[in-house]
Amino acid sequence: DVYLAMGSLESQDCKGVTTQTRQAALRENQQRAKESLHLAKGFADEIKHPLLQASILNQQGNLWMTQKNYEEALKKYGEATVLAEQDKLLKAKILMNIAQTMVTQDTNHEEAQKAIENATTEVGGLSDSNSHDKSFALIALARFWEKLQKLQSSENSQSSPPVKEPEFCSTESSFKQKLQQPEETQRFNLLTLALDANKIQEDRRAVSYAKGYLAGLYLEKWCYSHAKELTEQAIFYAQTYPHLMTGYDVKNIEKNVWGYPELLFQWEWQLGKILKTQVQSEQAIGAYGRAAGHLEVARKNYASTTPTFGKDGETFYSERADLLLQLARVTTGEDDKQNLLKAAIDSIESRQAASLRNYFRDECITEISPSKDEKKFSLSHTAVFYPILLQDGNVSNEMIKFSLNLGEDGVKLLLQPSIRTSELKNQVYAFRQKIEEARTKDQKATQDGLDRKEVLQKHLEELLRDHAQPLYQLLIDPIVGELDKYQIDTLIIIPDGTLYTLPFAALHDGKQFLIEKYALVVTPGLQLTNLGSSMPRDKIAALLNGLSEKVEGFGQLDARQALDDISKVQELTKVDRLEDETFTITNLQKSFRNPYSIVHFTTHGHFDKDPNNTFLLTYESVADPTHFLTINHLQELLSDTGKPIDLLTLSACESALGDENAALGLAGVALQTGIHSALATLWRVDANAANHLIRYFYNNIANKQLVTKAQMLKDAQKELRTEYNGDYSHPYFWAGFLLVGNWF
């Protein structure tokens, strides 16, 4: 039990703890749990104690469940059920585990329903002396029905809520008669039974759960008054527990923290939804604010959170930001408006942090405070742009909204365009497809002996007309007036979702590209960006890593030529190279003990929505393509450097950040390892174009003529676009380069 419980624990003190060390601890604890259970099972078999055997088999099933091996889990639970006949409570727990596994597995809804019914029958037969276990079992069964109902119904089947509460909300009996789905009736009955079972030996936490989930059912049926009353009761019962002792400061929450903050988060959030639906915006914001405080406590005070809880955090912060922005639009007082807008930005930043934690499955990754200069951070001639994709519970309400942070000049909420998020996603995807199509057009023109510049120019005209200009009008036109007013020259973009994959540099106003007007930077959030001082320009040490050897499944690179070109940048004080047979994980580990300003990789890689499947190829990959440097391992190696690396560059045809999660992952590595900035590509770039641009970019870093990396990249993109006889003028060659993080 101890090792199973420790399996998902994460240190509350995140110092010195990385994703890889945490995952190693998880695997070790699971292995120890497996070994302990194996020994215990042998002992139980030896003494032939059926209930002990059943209990151990149940625990083995639980272990398989934590590893998402549902077939093995069900096998163990099945064996345990046969042996548990003499213990009704144990058998009920095992049948509950079977039901949970069937619902989680989501492969056979009919079998899952039977499993829930079997567990319900067994739980219903428990005596009053087991009222505590019985109450929580009934609540859990109601949740199983709720999840099964969601799995069976279409995600987009929600209809618009009525103008006023339906008449059937007036009494409990009329409400129950209007429950159309059998799952809804089961939920209502089970939660009511849980409250009845709890009357004998009142457990206030059980009452809170039952009333809160019952309120959720009323809310689904638009019975807001009953839902509000039950939710407030759920909050009351959750607050009757002793206060927690916390050893840290939590922003915007009382020093005495309520017990069970995860419950209070859930119910205050639910109350906020109800109040929002009742158009009580200020009261709703109060509930969302309290929920935010409880969420922060729950996340920091508990050793780990579930993936579902993590995703709930993202959704919650989105809803809160949307609500704050809505109220800001109708608020006339400038001070009040600014407070609302700043709170909305805080919520967006919190949502971005939650996304990072969920991607890495690591609660600590955002706990490492990015270093900042002691001097006041200035946004002079710099704007922070938040294009926010929000979904307000109903697909028909999906919209994109804009917020612009102008530093000391305040925050501006700009007119939202009349487009749904889903439509915007389709436009971004089509733009990406069209821009990457240029690669095939270029290759075919060369093969067919056609004028490649003429072919690409025609393709560019289509790209601008059909994609780059419409997206500019949608995303940039609403903010360009403010950018001009404040003489902005650097635009920091905090993208959301699909917008991580958008090459903002290639957006076009009909006369020029966006990159011609502004230096551009992408970062997941200002609070997640290391704003410490950049490297001294007079002492630049670079570690260049490259792989030219062929790896099965990947194209061959001329890494040697790329590294030779970079090595010719005379202003680089020191250049060390790991190439082909010297480019090994072991040598990387040794090299990272030395201080480097720049770490450069010219090698293939793969970026995936799962960080465990995101990697770079090293020389070990030549002999074994499954042996590579994962992003988590890279994070571990970079954490061992003597001082923070100023710039990490990933340059290779297939080291592209085509997935929104991959760009987020790169930002996460930079955050946890202290790297100031990262340079990568959004798609498979032309090797020659990449070599030219990166060499020019490094020249800019070394020659001190430009102040910020954002300006250096802008200048390098201009060089590639306008020089070389126009060979690289198409955005495919230069617009895919992405500067993530610190732009100084």
Average pLDDT (434-446) is 96
Give me the CATH number covering residue 55.
Answer: 1.25.40.10
For residue 405, the cross-strand partners are: 384, 411
Is residue 722 assigned to a domain? yes
User: Comparing 74 with 249, which gets the higher pLDDT?
Assistant: 74
Please, are residues 380 and 489 in contact by the beta-carbon 8 Å criterion? no
Residue 238 is encoded by which pair of tokens? 């959750």
- Residue 62 carries which side chain, given as an amino acid letter? N
Number of structural domains the chain divides into: 3
Query: b/e map of 25-45 (b: 16 or more CB within 10 Å)?
Result: bbeebbeebbebbeebbeebe
Give the burial class of 118: count Cβ atoms within 10 A of its Cβ; 0-12 exposed, 13-18 middle, 19 or more buried. middle
Q: Is 700 within a domain?
A: yes
**Model pLDDT for residues 93-107, shown as the tens digit of each residue:** 999 999 999 999 999
Structure tokens at 672: 């946890």
Indicate whether 313 belongs to any domain: no
| Per-residue pLDDT reduced to its tens digit, 467-485 | 999 999 999 999 999 999 9
Evaluate if residue 64 carries a pLDDT over 90.
Answer: yes
What does the pLDDT average to over 483-490? 94
Do 508 and 539 reside in the same domain of the chain? no
Q: In which domain, by residue range, is 534 found?
A: 527-741
Q: What is the DSSP letter of 609?
A: S
| C-beta atoms surrounding 541 within 10 Å | 17
**Nearest-angstrom CA–CA distance, 633 and 494:** 27
pLDDT at 304: 56
Given this model, what pLDDT does residue 739 score? 92
C-alpha–C-alpha distance, residues 373 and 381, integer Å:
18
pLDDT, one tens digit per residue, over 135-176 is 999 999 999 999 999 998 754 445 566 767 887 888 888 898
Residue 663 gets which letter from DSSP? H
211 pLDDT band, cuts 50/70/90, is very high
Instruction: Give 497's contacts (C-beta < 8 A, 6+ positions apart).
Output: 389, 421, 425, 660
Residue 541 backbone dihedrals phi, psi, to 5 degrees:
-105, 135
Within-domain flag for 254: no
Q: Does residue 666 have a pLDDT over 80?
A: no
How many Cβ atoms sit within 10 Å of the Cβ of residue 708?
A: 19
636, HSE (Cβ side, Cα atoms, 13 Å): 14
Residues 395, 158: Cα–Cα separation, whole Å: 8
Q: Where are the alpha helices (DSSP H) in 302-420?
A: 307-330, 334-360
Judge if 72 and 104 occupy the same domain: yes
Q: Could you tell me if 607 and 514 lie in one domain?
A: no
Same domain, 583 and 700: yes
Where is the domain boundary, 504, 522, 540? 522
Report the pLDDT value the prediction gives residue 560, as an integer from 0 to 100.
Answer: 93
pLDDT beyond 70 at 449 = yes
Rounded distance between C-alpha atoms, residue 640 and residue 185, angstroms: 57
Higher-scoring residue by pLDDT: 657, 211: 211
User: Is 150 a domain residue?
Assistant: no
Q: At residue 15, does pLDDT exceed 60?
A: no
Q: So what's the pLDDT on residue 362?
A: 77
- On whether both 696 and 719 belong to a single domain, the answer is yes
374: which DSSP letter?
A: S
- CA 126/CA 9 separation, integer angstroms: 32
Q: Does residue 729 form part of some domain?
A: yes
Instruction: Count other C-beta atoms under 10 Å from residue 131's C-beta.
Output: 20
Same domain for 463 and 563? no
Q: What is the spatial distance between Cα 561 and Cα 617, in angstroms, rounded to a whole number? A: 18
Regarding whether 483 and 531 lie in a shared domain, the answer is: no
For residue 597, CA distances in Å to 369, 574, 644, 701 come to 20, 10, 8, 11
SS3 state of residue 511: coil
Q: So what's the pLDDT on residue 358?
A: 86
Q: Which of 423-432, 457-466, 639-648 has the largest mean confidence?
A: 457-466
Q: What is the mean pLDDT of residues 692-701?
A: 92
> Residue 526 corresponds to which amino acid?
L
pLDDT tens string 384-406 = 999 988 764 443 345 677 888 87
On the 0-12 / 13-18 / 19+ scale of CB atoms within 10 A, 446 is: exposed
> What residue type is assigned to position 720 of the chain?
L
Give me the mean pLDDT over the 402-420 stretch: 78
pLDDT for 379 equals: 65
What span, in angstroms and rounded, lies between the C-alpha atoms of 507 and 735?
Answer: 9
Considering the entire predicted model, what is its pTM? 0.88
Distance CA 355, CA 706 (A): 33
> Is residue 508, in this structure, part of any structural domain at all?
yes
Question: Could you give the CA distance from residue 731 to residue 471 in angstroms, rounded to a whole number?
Answer: 15
Residues 559 and 478 in one domain: no
Q: Which of 482, 503, 522 represents a domain boundary (last residue)? A: 522
Residues 415 and 542 in one domain: no
Number of Cβ within 10 Å of residue 361's Cβ equals 20
Q: Quick one: pLDDT band at residue 112, thresholds 50, 70, 90? A: very high
**Residues 30, 57 within the same domain:** yes
> What pLDDT score does 19 carry?
59
In the prediction, which pLDDT does 668 show?
Answer: 73
Residue 101 is which amino acid? T
Most confident listed range (170-184, 291-305, 461-475): 461-475
At residue 503, the pLDDT reads 95
Question: Are residues 691 and 573 part of one domain?
Answer: yes
Residue type for 599, please? V
Look at residues 481, 497, 522 and tell me which one is the last residue of a structural domain. 522
Residue 146 backbone class (left: φ over 0; alpha: ψ -120 to 50; beta: rest): alpha
Answer whether residue 111 is part of any domain. Answer: yes
Please give the span between the terminal C-alpha atoms of the chain, in angstroms, as a whole number.
50
**Residue 334 structure tokens:** 């400038």
Strand-pairing partners, residue 244, are: 257
CATH number at residue 640: 3.40.50.1460
3-state secondary structure (DSSP) of residue 84: coil
Instruction: Quickly state the pLDDT bin for 639 (edges 50, 70, 90).
Output: confident
* pLDDT class of 83 with cuts at 50, 70, 90: very high
Residue 129, CB half-sphere, CA atoms under 13 Å: how many?
2
Whether the predicted pLDDT of 17 surpasses 70: no
In a shared domain, residues 504 and 619: no
Band (pLDDT 50/70/90 cuts) for residue 263 is very high
Of the CA atoms within 13 Å of residue 151, those in its CB half-sphere come to 18
**Rounded distance between C-alpha atoms, residue 647 and residue 221, angstroms:** 53
**Among 716, 655, 651, CA closest to 690:** 651
